[in-house]
Chains A and B, each alone.
Chain A
C-alpha cells in the first residue's frame, strides 16, 4: 500500500462544514457513515447496484459508494438527515409515511434522496417514467407501489422544491 497518505477534504454536509483527513480510497459513503456518524445513508451493496447509498451532491443524486470522498472536496452534500427542515418533514418524507412506502426502511433514505433528485431533473412526466427513473433504487421488501404512489403525489402536488 503506497497511497496511505491522507488528504484533507472539505465537505459541506447538510449545511455544516467539515474538514476530513481521509485516505484516498475511502468512499463518500464510508466517510459519511463512519467518520461523520451520518448513518442514515445506507450501504446495501457497496458496488453501485442497489441505490441505498444515494445522496445529493450539489443538488444531483449520486451513489455515494461509487464516489470517493476526496472527489467531492468542496462539494455540498445533502443526506437523508438534511432533508427535513427543523423538525418539518419534507413533503416526500410525509408522503412516504402516509403511503407506507417502506417496510424495513433500509432502502428508504436512498429512495427519498433519489426521488428528490429525480423530481428536480424534470425528466419524468408519467407514472411509468417515474418508476423507470427510480429503478436504480432497489427495495427488497417490495414497497414499490407505495414508493411510486408517494412520488406521484408529491410530483403532482409540486411540493418537491
Chain B
C-alpha cells in the first residue's frame, strides 16, 4: 500500500501493467462485431477543382460497401460555426468532402468502405480523379511579401497578439554601444504521434453513436460530431481511454472522425477509419517561421532594446496564430521594445499547435540572440542572463506568482559544470571532435482551464472520480489519483480516476500543459465538498462521537474520519456508509482559476538548459553528448512521471534542433518525406546523457495545489542551447533549424 502524502512521491504509472502487457486499447483497436473498414483517398494536386470521378473499377470489387465523395456525401451541417471545434482559429473551417475545391495537397477527397481493411485500401487506389489545377503557393520564405496581420477571433483570447511597442526601439537601437541582429528560420514539423489517427464508430441505432476516437479532447470531438451531423449531444459518446500520443495534433477533431461517423450513420453500421502514416502529414503541423531579431545593450550588459518580428504560415482558410514574438519581454527588462507578428496564407492545411507552439520557435531565436549579445559584450552567456534577471514581468510590470528561474540557472550550471567552459569558440576538443557548451532559458505559460469533477464514495469506503479528460501519456490518471488520495486520506489503491469519456463532467482538451492544474484543482474542490457531506452524515448517526465536534477538529486519515486531538477516535468511511445505510455519497463541482486574484500577477513556468555537443571535425556530424535541464513549475506531484515529461521534451528539443523537418517541394506544393523513414526523429542511439532538475518553487498564488504543468517547458530552451553549443564548438552561427552536418562543412 502506498503511503500518504502521495504528492511528491515517484509513483509508477497506475496503468503501467496494461501498457506493458498489451491490454491497453487504443481507438482503432475496438474490434466490435460487423465492423466495416474505411480508407481515405487524398488529393494528389495542391490547388484547383475535381472535375470528374471514375469509380467503376471499385464498384466491381467484391467486399466494397460504399464510396463517399463530395458528389454523393450525405448532407451535413451547412454553417461553418457548426464545424468549429474548441480550438478552431479565426476563419472558415475545413469541411471534408464539402465541395469539389482542393485547398491543399493530401486533402481528403473520398472514403471507401469495405468489409475488410485490405479491400478498402486496395479500392482506394482504383478511384480515378480528374482535376483542373490552379496556381498555388506553399513556401513561406519565398512569399514573405504577402504577410498580413492575423485575423482576430475566439482563439485570440488564448493567443493574444504581441504587446504594443514600449519606448523608442529604433532610436535606442541606433545609439546603443553594443548590438546584434540576425534572422532565424524554422522548418515545418509534423507531430507524428506513434499511434495513427483512428475512430471506431459503434452504430447504436436511433441516431446514437459510441465512438472510440483518438483525440486530446473527448468533449471537443463529441460536440463536433453532434453539431456537424445534427445529433443530440447526449446521443454521442466519445471514449478515449488510451491515446498513443498527441503533442497537439489531437486538439482538433481530425478528418478520420468525420469520415467514420458519416459512413456509420449512412450505412447504419459499425465503421472504423484509420489513417496511414502518409496521411498523418495531411492535417496540421508546426508552421514554418521566419524571425528577425535585433537586440542592444549598454556597455555594462543591460539589455536596452529588443525587436522581435516574426512571420508564420497559415492556410488559405483559417488564420492560425502562435505566440511567437512576445516572450523576450517576459524575461528581460529592456526599456525599448518592438514586437510584431504576421502570417502568410499558403495552400497547405492549417497548422495546429505542436508541443510548446510558438514558445519553442520564438525562444530559440531569442536565446540565440542573447548568446550573440553575450559574445559581443565579451560576457559569459549565463552572466548576461543573471545581469538582466527580473523578478517581475517587465512586459506587464506585474509580479510573477512565483519565479525560481535563478535557481534553475544556478543548479543546472553547477550540475553541468558550466564553470569549466572556455568561452573561446573552437577551444575545447576531444580527440577529433570539437566540443561546445551552450545554454539557454525557457519560459512557458501556466494555464488553468475550468473543469468539473464528480466524486463518489462507495459503500466499501472507496473513492471514484469522474472527469472527461484524456491521458495522452502525460501520467494524468496517476497524478489525479495522487491528488485525490492526499485530499481524502485514502491509499491510491482505493481510488479510481475514471476519465477519457465525454459522458463525464467537463474538461477542456488536453493541451498547453494545463490539465494537471485544471482537473487537479477541481478534484481538490469536489473532494472538499464530499468531506463536508461525510462529516455531516457522520454527525447525524445516532450516538455519533462526532456530533458535538466542530468540523475543523475532524481530520481525514486512513480511510476514516478522526478527532484531531485524539486520532484514535475514528470512524471508517465503510462504517459510516453502513451506519447511514446509503450505497454512495456524491458530490460534483466546477472549479477554475481565481481570475480576480490572478489578474494582478503574471504566471509562467521557467527552465534553463545546458548542453554539450561534439562536432566531428571532418564530417560535421553533431552529437548532443550531455544535457541538463532545470525546471521551475511549482509543486511537482509525481517526480517520476514529471521527469519523463521533461526528458521527453528534451528529446523533442534535440529533434527540433538537429533532426526533424518536413521537406516541402514548392514546385509540387507537397511534403516529400511523409513517412517515418525519411522524417527523422531521434532513435535511442541518438540519446545520451540527459538530466532533469526540478527547482524548489513554492507558489501559494497560482492555485490551491501550487502547480503549473510540465508538458512543454522542458522543450523550450533546448534548441537554442544546442545552437549556442554548436557555435561554441565551431565558431559558426547556424540560425536555421534543423541544423544538419552539411551546414558545418
Contacts and interface: CB of A to CB of B under 8 A. Distances in A.
Given A30-B117, A89-B20, A100-B640, A106 B683 contact: no
Nearest to B272: A34
B647 A145 contact: yes
Interface string A96-128: 111010111111110010000000000000001
B35 to A, nearest CB: 9
Given A100-B644, A144-B682, A139 B17 contact: no
A127 B652 CA distance: 22
A100 to B, nearest CB: 5
Given A42-B194, A81-B23, A89 B245 contact: no
A100 B676 contact: no
A43 interface: yes
A140 B117 contact: no
A75 interface: no
A44 B677 CA distance: 12
A4 interface: yes
B611 to A, nearest CB: 15
Contact of A47 (B26, B277, B649): B277
B244 A105 contact: yes
Nearest to B647: A145
Q: Provide the main secondary structure of the chain A interface.
A: loop
A97 B15 CA distance: 9
Given A46-B277, A50-B676, A131 B687 contact: yes
A81 B194 contact: no
A49 B19 CA distance: 21
B62 interface: yes
Given A89-B20, A138-B676, A105 B61 contact: no
B245 A96 contact: no
A89 B640 contact: no
Given A42-B244, A142-B652, A103 B16 contact: no
Contacts of A50: 194, 676
B521 interface: no
B641 interface: yes
B243 interface: yes
A64 interface: no
Interface residues of B, number: 62
B648 interface: yes
A104 B250 CA distance: 13
A108 B194 CA distance: 11
Interface in A118-161: 128, 131-132, 134-148
Contact of B244 (A41, A106, A136): A106
B530 to A, nearest CB: 31
Given A44-B195, A45-B675, A79-B22, A142 B650 contact: yes
Given A25-B118, A103-B644, A145-B647, A39 B475 contact: no
A129 to B, nearest CB: 9
B196 interface: yes
Contact of A1 (B61, B643, B676, B686): B61
Contact of B22 (A26, A40, A144): A40
B389 interface: no
B690 interface: yes
A135 B684 contact: yes
B644 A80 contact: no
B716 interface: no
B122 interface: yes
B337 interface: no
Contacts of B1: none
A100 B12 CA distance: 7
Contacts of A38: 22
B676 A45 contact: yes
A73 to B, nearest CB: 18
Contacts of B649: 142
B193 interface: yes
A84 interface: yes
Contacts of B641: 100
Given A34-B117, A81-B22, A46 B276 contact: yes
Contacts of A72: none
Given A145-B647, A145-B687, A146-B644, A89 B117 contact: no
A60 interface: no
Interface in B16-41: 16-26, 28-29, 31
Nearest to B31: A37
Instruction: Tell which of B16, B194, B245 has the most Cβ of chain A within 10 Å.
Output: B194
A155 B473 CA distance: 26
Contact of B277 (A34, A44, A80, A104): A44
Given A97-B13, A100-B13, A140 B681 contact: yes
Contacts of A139: 194, 684
Nearest to A44: B194
A157 B584 CA distance: 47
A83 B22 CA distance: 10
A35 B651 CA distance: 36
Contact of B473 (A43, A84, A89, A104): A104
Contact of A93 (B20, B643, B644, B683): B20
Interface of A: 1, 4, 23, 25-26, 30, 33-34, 37-47, 49-50, 52, 79-81, 83-84, 89, 93, 96-98, 100, 102-109, 112, 128, 131-132, 134-148
26 contacts: A1-B122, A4-B62, A30-B118, A34-B31, A34-B117, A38-B22, A42-B244, A49-B277, A81-B23, A83-B21, A84-B21, A89-B17, A100-B12, A100-B643, A102-B19, A105-B19, A105-B473, A134-B684, A135-B684, A136-B683, A137-B684, A138-B683, A140-B681, A141-B648, A142-B647, A145-B690
